[in-house]
């Protein structure tokens, strides 16, 4: 059951979008993220995907909508169409196309890898984005930079280190280790043009659509180093080998990218440290020691 005034607000706004009266028949919870409530909204006009939370999360939903629309405009991978982002006074929500799940196509991973390379062909002259957004529930600063190293240090690692310090999750040893790493980064990371990235691409942030195709969701978009995206896909077990070989056939990464995976994954690991606590410190220290 939907809370409070959310249902009549949805009925009213959805009716205006569709140009006809709408009735909500059923709400079925959808498995997925740990931040927002997610449900399949079944109506007389079909099914829609609804995420809602307290009104304080409105900015998060607005940023998600902007990210999905930016990815959609790139035309490389399927994303759910955003219908509206609004609030009911006490709750904020995002309503979008419901992706009917299907089985993997035979060439699912091959097509997915090639399509991600096509997404990354959308480039910018600078690293960042014209607006800030979120990764999970954390703010993500996307201030423009002319080079990846300064962007990675200031907008990614520095921001997370500052937050972790405020939360009492770090020590002087960790900060010293990061400062040493930052001095070495120009010699560790090869140049790449700023590519449009999903920004939070792991196995929980894609769906298999009705035609067996990949559909990407829950983005944290920005223009960044494409190795950061490929590294993120390896964070929680990785994708299938065909995905990586297909990507490499479409747009090869520079030699040694697999050795740099941990380096790029320091950012999502710091995000997880700030979201979930000190259980991620051991892996962070292990990566820092590897590159010291």
Active site amino acids: 200
Residue 279 makes CB contacts below 8 A (sequence gap 6+) with none
Task: Return the half-sphere exposure (C-beta side, CA atoms, 13 A cut-off) of residue 83.
Answer: 19
Alpha-carbon distance of 269 to 292, in angstroms, equals 18
- Residue 82 near residue 94, CB atoms below 8 Å: yes
Which stretches of the chain are assigned E, i.e. beta strand?
A: 24-29, 37-43, 46-54, 82-87, 91-97, 133-135, 138-140, 195-197, 206-208, 214-216, 222-224
For 90, the token pair is: 């006490």
The phi and psi torsions of 151 (rounded to 5 degrees) equal: -65, -45
Contacts 24+ apart (CB under 8 A), 4-8: 4/88, 4/89, 4/90, 4/91, 5/88, 5/89, 5/90, 5/91, 6/52, 6/88, 6/91, 6/93, 8/88
Residue 282 makes CB contacts below 8 A (sequence gap 6+) with none
Helix (H, G, I), strand (E, B) or coil at 52: strand
Among the listed residues 228, 278, 216, the one whose alpha carbon sits nearest the alpha carbon of residue 253: 228
Alpha-carbon distance of 210 to 96, in angstroms, equals 16
- Other beta carbons within 10 angstroms of residue 213's beta carbon come to 20
């Amino acid at each position: 059951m939907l809370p409070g005034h959310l249902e009549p607000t949805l009925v009213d706004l959805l009716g205006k979008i569709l140009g006809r009266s709408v009735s909500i028949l059923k709400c079925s919870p959808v498995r997925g993220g740990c931040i927002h409530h997610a449900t399949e909204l079944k109506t007389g006009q079909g099914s829609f995907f609804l995420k809602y939370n307290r009104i304080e999360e409105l900015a998060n939903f607005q940023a998600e909508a902007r990210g999905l629309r930016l990815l959609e405009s790139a035309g490389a991978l399927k994303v759910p169409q955003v219908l509206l982002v609004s609030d009911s006074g006490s709750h904020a929500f995002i309503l979008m196309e419901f992706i009917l799940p299907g089985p993997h196509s035979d060439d699912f991973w091959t097509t997915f890898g090639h399509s991600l390379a096509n997404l990354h062909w959308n480039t910018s002259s600078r690293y960042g984005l014209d607006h800030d957004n979120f990764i999970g529930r954390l703010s993500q600063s996307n201030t423009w930079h002319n080079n990846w190293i300064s962007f990675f240090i200031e907008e990614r690692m520095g921001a997370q280190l500052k937050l972790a310090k405020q939360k009492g999750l770090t020590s002087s040893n960790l900060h010293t280790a990061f400062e040493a790493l930052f001095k070495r980064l120009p010699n560790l990371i090869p140049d790449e043009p700023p590519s449009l990235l999903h920004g939070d691409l792991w196995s929980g942030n894609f769906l298999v659509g009705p035609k067996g195709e990949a559909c990407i969701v829950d983005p944290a978009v920005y223009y960044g180093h494409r190795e950061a995206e490929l590294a993120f896909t390896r964070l929680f077990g990785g994708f299938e080998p065909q995905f990586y070989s297909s990507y490499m056939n479409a747009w090869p990464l520079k030699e040694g990218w697999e050795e740099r995976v941990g380096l790029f994954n320091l950012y999502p690991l710091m995000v997880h440290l700030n979201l979930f606590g000190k259980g991620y410190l051991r892996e962070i220290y292990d990566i820092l020691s590897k590159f010291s």
